[in-house]
Each structure stands twice: as structure tokens, then as C-alpha cells.
Structure 1
Amino acid sequence: MGIMFGNALHFLLFMLLFSPVAFSGRCHPQDKKVLLQIKKDFNSPYLLASWDPKTACCDWYCVECDPKTHRITSLIISSSIPDTNLSGPIPPSVGDLPYLEYLDFHKLPKLTGPIQPAIAKLTKLKSLSITWTNVSGPIPDFLAQLKNLDSLYLSFNNLSGHIPASLSRLPNLLSLNLDRNKLTGPIPASFGFFKKPGPNLFLSHNQLSGPIPSSLGQLDPERIDFSRNKLTGDASLLFAHNKKTQLLDLSRNLLSFDLSKVEFPKSLTWLDLNHNKIHGSIPVGLSAVQNLQQFNVSYNLLSGKIPQGGELGKFDKFSYFHNKNLCGTPLPNCK
């Protein structure tokens, strides 16, 4: 009986010592020092009130630790309060967390200044997200040094200038979100040389101009959103019947090509081409796309009869109107 009790006690002690709960109370002293410096650089905002030097940093809000090494692997600072008192630029001390894999600043309207160069030191980083802030300046070339990045989210900021061609050197990138900024210039031709199938590309709501590089025809990402820019020329290179594209939004640009010659991926669920200068007719093959949930070709230069049957029949006139020579249900009958 005593032996059994002793074994049970040893097992209980083992579980207490090596459980995640036990580990959560630990903290690497160097990481703790860096986090306290970040808090100081942000003028000790209420959002980081749990960052108490008397407690273990792995228990603080906004951070996560590796359960074995107790090094900080995730720093996610986000606020649901519009008037958060966290303000100023991204502190350079952020670059002194060498085991960081996830860095996220979200909904921080008083976060300003450029993307911090010290971020280039975070070589283990898998995801960098700076969204819904007032961070400004160019997208820096040094982000191409973060070879482990699989996600780069820089949406809803005040970033300006050209998109650096060097981003195509990120070998593991799965998603590139640069939408809703003030970016100008062309889409880099180098983007066609991302490792196939290429990352999901979200570049909408900027001021990008020029043609879509022909090299992008080599890629096959699931989602492409180039809407609300000033892109010109032929976008048919993005289509092919054997691609796996699900979402393709090219709306509100200056694109001009013959839609009747396009072969559409059967995987499409979302196709928006409204407000361009696209001509030709709607190909019958588009009606064979079986899972189309969103479709809009309004405000173009299309002509001919709308193909009947299939998925196209479920969309109303607003998906087709303002094409001077387009006719047939749900528009007026052809003459």
C-alpha cells in the first residue's frame, strides 16, 4: 500500500512539474527584459498592464512562450478599443526577441512611423502582421530577408511608394496582403517567379498602375484581388481552365481584353470584373462553372446574348447591366 501511495505521489509531482501550467509560470530573463523595454517605449499603455516585472512574462497578455525553452515565440498586440493609448512607432527592441515566430500589431490607430528595420533580425518569423494602424512609409526591401515567412499582412495602413520586387524571394510565402494602402507604381514582374503555385495576392484599394505582368500567368494561387487600382491592359493571362483559382477580383480598374476568348477555372467561386473596359461576349463555358457564388461583369463593353442555364442564371441584372450591347435574361431580350 505504501509503495502504491509513493508511486502515485511521484506521478503527481511529475505532472505538476512538467505540465504546461507549470511551464507557464516561467520566463526567459532576456526576453522579459526586452518586453519591459517595449512597454516602456510605448509609454506603458494600459493594454500592456499585465506586463508586471514581478511576474513571469509567459503569463502576460499578448505573448506566448515555447513550453520547453520558455522563449517568447508570439507577440500579438491588438486592441478592440479605438482610442487605445498605445502610441508611437514600433520599438526597435522588437528585434531583440530572437525566437519570435509570430508578430502582430492590429487595430492600433496611434501606431505610427515606418516599419521598424530591427524586424529584419527576426529570422525565425513565420508571420508578420501590421494591420489597421497608421504605420507609413515604403514597404522595405529588408522584409525579403525573412526567409521563413509564410504570411505577410500589411493591410489597412498608410504605406506608400512602390511594391518591392524583392518580396518574390520569400520562398515559403503563402499569403501576401498589401491591400488598402497608398501604394503606387506597377505590380512587380518578379511576382511571377514566386515559388509555385504562388501566394494568395491581395493588392486591392491602392493606386497601382500599368499592365499586369505576363509572368503572373505562371502562378496558380487560390485567391487574387487586384480591385480598385488603375491597372491597364490584358488580364486574361490570369485565367486558364486547368488552374485552381477560387477568387478573382479585378473590379474597378482600366483593364481591356476580349472576354470571349477566356477559359475559366472550374474551381471559381468568385469572379468580379465590374467597372473596366472589357469587351467581347460572355463565353458559354462560364455557365459550366458549378460553384460560382459571386459574379459581376457590369459597367464594361460586353455584347451579345447572356448564356442561359447553369450558374449564370442565378444572378440578377445588377451583375450584367451597363454593358451597352449585352442582352438576354435577366436583361432585356435581344433584338
Structure 2
Amino acid sequence: MGSALISGVCFFLLLSPFPLAFSERCHPHDKKALLQLKKDLNNPYILASWNPNEDCCEWYCVKCDEKTNRIYDLDISSSVPDTNLSGQIPPSVGDLPYLEFLTFHKLPNLVGPIQPTIAKLTKLRSLFITNTGISGPVPDFLAQLKSLELIKLSFNSLSGTIPSTLYQLLNLTSLQLDRNQLTGPIPGSFGSFKKPGPDLTLSHNQLSGPIPSSLGTLDPQRLDLSRNKLQGDASVLFGSKKRTQILDLSRNLFEFDLSPLKFPPKSLIWLDLNHNNIYGNIPLALTKVENLQQFNVSYNHQLSGKIPQGGELQRFDKYSYFHTKLCGSPLPPCNNKQVNI
């Protein structure tokens, strides 16, 4: 009788449509932190699935590790800007100690500074805060998060200077701080990044001053410094033995001789130097670049001489050479005076 009753209870539990408390994967500490985070963000629609009576490993925007059942990925992103979500980054995000990936994306009413609580996330590999109302500085405490591989803080309202301490992040492969209001120079300490150095996207800011010569020791695949107020000699960024794929220095105040520079013949696909004060001739070495897909030297008024024939240089239209003293295809033919400049 007793064993039959027990068997019946077990059978009922197996068929029961109601989840059992002891079957929940989510760690209670993580669940508490997430529910507080939801409250602090004004209970937005995007987090409507965060029901306290359900397993938080099944919630939208959250991923749990299959072995530890601890939350390792929190991605609060909206396909369209979510104006219902408002407030600052909640301090409770720092109470998710196993977090490796943290994303806030397309949240225009997420405001205030990048909270110091993020410094508690010692396992963090990716910090992705984009298209938000976040303001204040790029925090110096990011250098404490030694596991960071990606920092992407694009399309925000960050201001101030770039922390010189970021070079201490030995695992960093990409630093993207574009489309903010950052000022000051590129830190000279960046030349001390672990080689070959992270890809750097610092465009659409108000950075100024010269390129640190130490930056020439790095070899990132992507370097985008466009649309700033940087000046002086950027020739240290070039070289035939580098692995550069994308180099964009456009719309700055750079002033250097292009003539003697060398380029990686196999890797380079994008070279944009428009709207600077670059002078000299187009180097013959550019005809050896095999896969050049984007090229622009327009609005460098002191560039002169004949455009070398061959390679990929004639596939670009006249607007890639506009407002220079260059001549030859795809521009009009040179006269004797232009050739001898």
C-alpha cells in the first residue's frame, strides 16, 4: 500500500504541468540581482518575461552556463530604441559574479555614468554599451578587469580623455570608443599594449594632438582615427610588413609626406586619407596592393604628380582624388609642368 502510494505520487509529479521549485536551474543569488535590476530600470517591457515564479535561466536576455547554472551573459538589447527602459545602469549588475558578457544596446534613456559596480565583474570578457544616453568619462577602473577582450562604447555621450591605463588589459583585442565626445590625445601608453595590440576605433570624437610615436610599434588589423582633430605626422602607422586591413585617417589635420611610405601588399583593403594636409606623390608601392577596395586621398591640396598606373588605383573614380594636384587616369592627363612637380 505504502509503496503503491509513493509510486502514484512520483507518477503524478512526472506528469504535473507545474514546475517544481527544486528543478529550477537559476541560482537564487543571480535571480535576486536580476529582479532588482529590472526594478531599477523601471520594469521595462523588454524584461516582461522576468517572472519571479519562473526559472531565470529561461528568461529573455539571459544565458546560464550549462555546468554551473550561473548567469554568464546579460544582453539587454532592443531592435528599436526602447524608451520605456530608463534610469542608470543598476548597481545590482555587479552582483552577477560569473558574468562574462554584458550588453546594453539601443536604450536611449539609459543615462548617467558607467557605474563603478561593473568593476566587480572580474570574469567579464566583453563590455558592450552602445546607442545609449550614457555620459561621463570612459572609466579608469576598466583596466582592473583583466579578462576583457572587447570594449565597445560607441554611439554614446562619453566625454573627457581616454584612460592611459587601458594598455594593462593584456587580453584586449578590440577597443571601440567611436561616436562620442572624447577629447585630448591618444595616450602614449597605448604603444605598450601587448603586441600586436587591439584593433582601435576612435573615430567621430574630438581627439587632438599628434600620434604617439609608440603607436607605430603596434600592428592592429583595424585602425580608425577618422573625424577627429589629430595632427602632425602619422607615417609611423604605415609599413609593408604590417598586417593592416583597414586604415582610416580621414578628416583630421595630419601633415606628412606620402611619397616614401610602404603598404602591406596582401592584407590592406581600406585606405582613407581624405581631408588632411598630406603632401608628396602617390607611391608606386600602392600599385602592389592586391585587394584594395576603398581608397581616398581627396582634399589633400598639396598631393601632386602623376597617379601611378597599375594595381587597383584606376578602379577608383575621380572623387577619390578630388581637390588635389594629381593628374593621370582617372583624372585628366598630366601636362609637363604637373609631371615635373
TM-score (norm 1): 0.92
Residue 82 of structure 1: how far off its partner (Å): 2.4
Q: Deviations for 1:136-180, whole angstroms, at most 9, x for unmatched residues? A: 000110000000000000000000000000111101000000000
Mark the runs of 5 or more structure 2 residues left unpaired by the alignment.
1-21, 336-341
Question: What are the within-5 Å matches in structure 2 for residues 54-133 of structure 1?
Answer: 54-133=53-132
Determine if contact 2:107/2:132 at 8 Å carries over to the other structure.
yes
| Counterparts of 2:82 and 2:57, CA distance in 1 | 27
The corresponding residue for 1:194 is 193
The corresponding residue for 1:283 is 283
Mark the runs of 5 or more structure 1 residues left unpaired by the alignment.
1-22
- Give aligned pairs, total: 312
Determine if contact 1:24/1:58 at 8 Å carries over to the other structure.
no
The corresponding residue for 2:304 is 303
Q: Percent identity between the aligned chains?
A: 73
Residue 64 of structure 1: how far off its partner (Å): 0.3
The corresponding residue for 2:264 is 265
Determine if contact 2:211/2:232 at 8 Å carries over to the other structure.
yes
| Counterparts of 1:285 and 1:62, CA distance in 2 | 49
Give the 3 Å change call, closer, same or farther, for CA 127–24 of structure 1 in structure 2.
farther
| Counterparts of 2:23 and 2:239, CA distance in 1 | 51
Residue 84 of structure 1: how far off its partner (Å): 2.9
CA RMSD in angstroms, aligned pairs only: 1.1
Question: What are the within-5 Å matches in structure 2 for residues 1-335 of structure 1?
Answer: 26-266=25-265, 267-300=267-300, 301-323=302-324, 325-335=325-335
Residue 25 of structure 1: how far off its partner (Å): 5.0
Aligned-partner residue type, residue 312 of structure 2: E
| Counterparts of 1:89 and 1:115, CA distance in 2 | 8
Q: Deviations for 1:6-37, whole angstroms, at most 9, x for unmatched residues? A: xxxxxxxxxxxxxxxxx995110110000000
| Counterparts of 2:98 and 2:120, CA distance in 1 | 10
| Counterparts of 1:42 and 1:313, CA distance in 2 | 54
Determine if contact 2:264/2:289 at 8 Å carries over to the other structure.
yes
Residue 91 of structure 1: how far off its partner (Å): 0.4
| Counterparts of 2:189 and 2:102, CA distance in 1 | 26
Give the 3 Å change call, closer, same or farther, for CA 129–207 of structure 1 in structure 2.
same
Residue 43 of structure 1: how far off its partner (Å): 1.3
Determine if contact 1:227/1:250 at 8 Å carries over to the other structure.
yes
Determine if contact 2:73/2:101 at 8 Å carries over to the other structure.
yes
Moved runs in structure 1, 4+ residues, more than 3 A?
none
Determine if contact 1:212/1:233 at 8 Å carries over to the other structure.
yes
Determine if contact 2:82/2:106 at 8 Å carries over to the other structure.
no
Aligned-partner residue type, residue 284 of structure 1: L
| Counterparts of 1:172 and 1:68, CA distance in 2 | 25
1:110 is paired with a residue whose SS is strand
2:286 is paired with a residue whose SS is helix
Give the 3 Å change call, closer, same or farther, for CA 24–285 of structure 1 in structure 2.
farther
Q: Greater Rg, structure 1 or structure 2?
A: 2
2:209 is paired with a residue whose SS is strand
Residue 83 of structure 1: how far off its partner (Å): 4.3
Q: Deviations for 1:72-101, whole angstroms, at most 9, x for unmatched residues? A: 000000012324300010001100100000
2:312 is paired with a residue whose SS is helix
Q: Deviations for 1:236-295, whole angstroms, at most 9, x for unmatched residues? A: 100010000000000000000000011111110000000000000001110110000000
Determine if contact 1:24/1:67 at 8 Å carries over to the other structure.
no
| Counterparts of 1:262 and 1:24, CA distance in 2 | 65
Aligned-partner residue type, residue 320 of structure 1: Y
